[in-house]
Amino acid sequence: VCLDVGKVNFPVIAQLNRFYFFKIVPLIGKWLMPGQEMFDYLPHSSINYPDQKKLKKILLEEGFQKVDVYDFVFGASTIHVAQKPASS
């Protein structure tokens, strides 16, 4: 099970999500945990992170089976559930 950020496919919602993720989340993070850089790092690290379909493909190529993807908040958050094949 992998809970991660995803890519929103609806243009208007994607713009709102980018604004929230790149502007609001870092402000909240700095307020809650002053001096922590993770809230600046996370949005920027998500730029090159694969989208839901690409990550599913990667998991399948690496030998995982039954890969399911569950999107939340229009895809801004996503869960990948994959099964590792039994060893023989």
pLDDT digits (tens, 9 = 90+) for 40-87: 788 888 888 999 999 999 999 999 999 999 999 999 999 999 999 887
* Confidence at residue 15, expressed as pLDDT on a 0 to 100 scale: 95
Q: Return left, alpha or beta for 3; rule: phi > 0 is left, psi -120 to 50 is alpha, else beta.
A: beta
Q: Which residues contact 23 (CB under 8 A, 6 or more apart)?
A: none
In terms of DSSP bridges, do strands 65-72 and 77-83 run parallel, antiparallel, or are they unpaired? Answer: antiparallel
pLDDT digits (tens, 9 = 90+) for 21-34: 899 988 888 888 88
Amino acid at 27: L
* Confidence at residue 58, expressed as pLDDT on a 0 to 100 scale: 95
Between CA 54 and CA 6 the distance in angstroms is 11
**The residue count for the chain:** 88
pTM, entire model: 0.78
* Confidence at residue 29, expressed as pLDDT on a 0 to 100 scale: 86
